Structure 1
Amino acid sequence: MQDLVNRFEELRQRITELMEHLDWGKKQSKLSKLKKESEGESFWQDNKNAQQVMKEISDIQSEMDLWYGLSNRVNDFMDLASSGDESFRDELEQEAAKMEGDLDRLEITTLLSGPYDKGNALLSINSGAGGTDAQDWAAMLLRMYLRWAENRGYKIETIHQTEGEEAGIKSATILIEGPYAYGYLRAEKGVHRLVRLSPFDAAHRRHTSFVQVEVLPEVAAEDPTIDLNPDDLVIDIYKSSGAGGQNVQKNATAIRITHKPTGIVVSCQNERSQLQNRENAMKVLRGRLYELKLVEQEENLSKLRGEYQKAEWGSQIRSYVLHPYQLVKDHRTEYEKGNTQAVLDGDLDEFIEAYLKNR
């Protein structure tokens, strides 16, 4: 049983090191401070601030409970392994394997420390160069991300979708709700390139298609990071376009919002309710304004370091080659996988983890 004792000891050491990396003492101190603040007599007089504080308390407490729970499990099973009773070997080996998997996943979350990394994500897909092939490729990518989200148990809501003329989609925006959805999906932002024999070419020649993937955080309306002045918005209401028949809205429910200071335009026509479409469009607008802030900060820092390069359409982050060979390769990390069908079915975790570790 000494081999299992050593295995649990390694797990305990990894947990200790990761908790030190997370600056656990600082987290505990902050939690105590926030709890004390929440007990004050005037705490709920500022409802907006109170809700933000309570959310912080909940987030920190949940994170600590998760780590302490895993640590306690390791200690309990280590004691059992130390007893030397071989009748527990099978159970202990199963538990050790499960805890190693749990710790691997938790270790990845330590790389997600951005202000919105723990929250939901707005994922937009826009077909680019390649005509009908690109629109079909956009639909393939949408399916890939839906499968990935479903496999993780995330909730999915379609915000906006525009169909292609012959096949596929021109664009789509979906809201993916679940823990760390934005933190993980940030790895997917960029141009995705497909090489294959075109099913839309009568000569069946090889075509290259490009699709732009945009990933934004879901920024709450009351978030102080984004200050939206209603006077800066131009809101247009129009009838939804569709495939015809019952799919076309007879009433004007689609929403287009233009943010005058930045020129950002967002639209939503998926819901039958004008109010819901407006709310969803505002979600996307807040996310894009936050992303714009990040881009400006990164550009300024990079220019100071002398390393800034403008991102162009052709600078793809990942290539999916279906002909003349099968390969998906991420050009940022050099991670690659030969099972293209598995990737297109949503098997993206290894690409995401490689990106996070590399970053």
Structure 2
Amino acid sequence: MFKSKKLLVGLAFSALFIGGCSKDASEQEEDVSKVDDEPAIEEPVKEETITAPLTGEIVKEEVTQRPIMVTVNNHPAARPQSGIAAADIIYEMLAEGNVTRFLAVYQSELPENIGPVRSARSYFVDMAKGFNAFYVAHGYSPEAKTMLSNNVVDNINGMNYDGTLFKRSNDRVAPHNSYITSENIVNGAEKVGASMNYSEKVHQAFYEPDERGKIGVETSQVDIYYGNSEYFHNTYVYDHQTNRYGRQSAGVETKDMLTGDALTFANVLFFEMKHQTIDDVGRQDIDLTSGGNAYVFQNGYLREVKWANIDGIPTAVEETGELVKLVPGKSWVHFVPASPGLQTMVKTQP
């Protein structure tokens, strides 16, 4: 429904050059006649290349859709999830204990159905604010509830629309069975008076189509662990033919339940962030602003960079402060605790 839009602009020019002076009328008429018989010279059509803001991929029409961010459940009972293959970017981070959740960011397209949808955290809301996204969640932590009640971001929540905008699946048990359709996201935006027009530009740099940056250590596989549970052991394997990464979680290929398609990514990034446990439930507070070490996994190479908060969005940067170029395509971004740190949590294979 929400296909990315691009404006193709073509310019064509024809030039007709006539030179020389005639000595009499007959010669002038003859010269004009000869020129009229010559074909017009046309310059080649020049097309403006327009790319999707979040993927850098060439698209046909200008993107006018506001980003939509959805908290997606990643508990083992919630897998496989629906609609995640359509996301331009997926962020994975801890919600409580060693259980992670996804923030799926949609702009190029919006799938028919998304879920299971899960509850908000304060740093999820901060991420939505950075993107100026329309935020969708079902439930909230106390801190997130305050932020959402104060309209820090335009949002709809399943706590207010359970059974109306949000529907429960019969093949899973709560809280792993809340879903929302693309139609109901649009309806929800209308209910709360939120504009769905894209008004903010996301800061990101991409390689040109003919560029293939190969920087760092050649690496075919990266494994990342959240805690000791195999359920949150994620593996990314590089495919040299497609220049994309496949993903497994707990040894199972990550697929979209809606389409049956396996997810693949052009870029996989890891941001090392300070985490703090804030309550007995194990809820976390994640520092999205201070910056720190990061890894970028692309083109079959892994290298260490930095991350910085740029206009509210944690972003990969070089040591010089310049934006790290991404390979055009979808990206998966991990937020991981600075302690024990990336070196401990990430294992690689050459």
Q: When the two structures are superposed, what TM-score results if normalisation uses the length of structure 1?
A: 0.28
Q: Which has the larger radius of gyration?
A: 2
Q: Which has the higher contact order (CA 8 A, sep 6+)?
A: 2
Flag the structure with higher strand content.
2
Structure (1 or 2) with the greater helix fraction:
1
